[in-house]
Structure 1
């Protein structure tokens, strides 16, 4: 039994020696060591950005417009006042608007100054001579910038207009544009305002105007003075 075991160990050592010699003959130990110490593979090369070429092309115009000239925008003269055509078709035809003479306008303004001098002090007052855009067309009433900054709200609000009969008319005050928009048309139409009328606005509250009207034709609205 002992002899058989010894013979097995001798045979195993002999095979190990033979395998070692074969590996050395094939340089396998060196190859294995080289694999362990080989440098890391290089990172993947960064892809080059895609180049897009731009080309100029001729844009074809529609056959409906290709042979037509560019549109020409004209102004229409209404009683010696040039008013853009776009305004004529918006709210009201200004071709029938009667323009007051400079002399009549100056007389209305003078009467408005006299009216203002008789009003109670302590209330901010402004006077507006009615222009075509105030009484027709877009019905927009712009107000003096300084007056708005000192006396009117800094944000859009509802301004109430009280006429000399005590009737109230709410209007929309646009703070950024410094003027009265929605509601002003109703007031102007209800009081038959025309070009050249002098309208006095007395600020009796934060958002309330007392309004007096001096007619350009010589007549005056209401009691023509203070309460």
Structure 2
């Protein structure tokens, strides 16, 4: 019995010492909805942004900076075409295509940002590629309206132009919304006609479709004139007939042409 009492006294004393040595921690005040904790400072409370807002801002900045890093042309030259400008350029290009009046296959392509400002990958209509272009890697020639030629690479598996298209787009300063007519005049050669979505004047913008029609007729007439020139026969060269000098009269008079000329 004595041993049991000693154990209980020891355990009780141990618990008492632990309670005495344990530091007193302040109880945290529970926040209720709509109740703001009183502040001792007179300064205004700084707004704390949420984690979602920080992440969204970082993503938007990273996307913008990454896109700008891939842009080759100056940022002040970058344009964004409205739906109206894009449609007007597309309709003018279709009018130009209809007035080509050739048996060569052709298609119209509207330019977007990845075609002319960055990436420089130009996907072509899959149906046109299946019917008229090879399925393998092939070298292509892009010829503009001034007969300037650019070498490009056509990737048959992806139905698009890669190498060389960048030089064509930058040299001609193509913009978002421009519409291009591609005419396959040879097995590996495109004739490219450009219709601008951002013309120099408002008057020109209003007559964009009419301009496309006139350019198509001009291109067709140029093709006909070149074919006529190749069939035109050579003209005979006509030499002027000069009467020979009658030296007999000079001999009878005892004068030569040279002496007569000197006396005159």
Report the TM-score range of the alignment, normalised by the length of the smaller protein: 0.5 to 0.7
Within the alignment, does 1:106 sit opposite 2:82 as a pair? no
1:151 aligns with 2:129: no
Shift of residue 191, structure 1, vs aligned partner: 0.6
Measured after TM superposition, the shift of residue 177 of structure 1 is 1.2
Runs of 4+ in 1 over 4 A off after TM superposition: 83-87, 93-96, 219-223
For the pair 1:120 / 2:111, whether they are aligned, the reply is: no
> How far apart, in 2, do the equivalents of 1:134 and 1:75 lie?
22
- Could you state the TM-score of these two structures normalised by the residue count of structure 2? 0.52
Task: Please name the residue that 2:150 is paired with.
Answer: 169
CA distance in 1, matches of 2:90, 2:173: 18
Query: Which of the residues 173, 176, 187 maps onto 1:195?
Result: 176
Partner of 2:188: 207
Superposition pairs of residues 129-140 of structure 1, within 5 angstroms: 129-140=110-121
State whether residues 87 and 138 of structure 1, in contact with CA within 8 Å, keep that contact through their aligned partners in structure 2: no
How many residue pairs are counted as aligned between the two chains?
152
Q: Which residue of 1 aligns with 2:215?
A: 224
* Higher strand fraction (1 or 2): 1
**Matching residue within 57, 69, 73 for 1:89:** 69
The equivalent of 1:22 in structure 2 is none
User: Within 1, Cα distance between the matches of 2:137 and 2:60?
Assistant: 33
- Counterpart CA distance in 2 for 1:195 and 1:112 is 15
Q: Structure 2 regions of 5+ residues with no counterpart?
A: 1-54, 223-264
Q: Is the 8 A contact 1:160 1:208 kept in 2?
A: yes
Q: 1:76, 1:121 → 2: CA distance?
A: 50
Q: Tell whether the 8 Å contact from 1:94 to 1:137 is kept in structure 2 after alignment.
A: no
1:202 match: secondary structure: strand
Q: TM-score normalised to the size of structure 1? A: 0.60
- 1:154 Cα shift? 1.4
Structure 1 residues not aligned, in runs of 5+: 1-70, 78-82
The within-5 A match list for 1:57-72 is none
- Which structure is higher in helix share? 2
User: Measured at CA, do residues 76 and 141 of structure 1 come closer, stay the same or move farther in structure 2, by a change above 3 Å?
Assistant: farther
Listed one character per residue, the Cα deviations across residues 98-149 of structure 1 (whole Å, up to 9, x for unaligned) are 1011111111111111111110231111111110000011111111111111
Q: Check 1:107–1:134 CA distance in 2 against 1; reply closer, same or farther (3 A cut).
A: same
CA 1:85–1:148 in structure 2 vs 1: closer, same or farther (change >3 Å)? Answer: farther
Partners of 1:205 and 1:110 in 2: CA distance:
25
Q: Following TM superposition, by how much is the alpha carbon of 1:75 offset from its aligned partner in structure 2, in angstroms?
A: 4.9
Counterpart CA distance in 1 for 2:135 and 2:176 is 30
Q: Which residue of 2 aligns with 1:54?
A: none
Instruction: Provide, for residues 22-41 of structure 1, a one-character-per-residue CA deviation record: whole Å limited to 9, x for no partner.
Output: xxxxxxxxxxxxxxxxxxxx
1:177–1:87 distance in 2 versus 1, CA, 3 Å: farther
Provide the C-alpha distance between the structure 1 equivalents of 2:151 and 2:73, rounded to a whole number of angstroms. 25
* 3-state SS of paired residue (1:89): helix
State the Cα RMSD in Å: 2.8
CA 1:174 to 1:116, structure 2 compared with 1: closer, same or farther past 3 Å? Answer: same
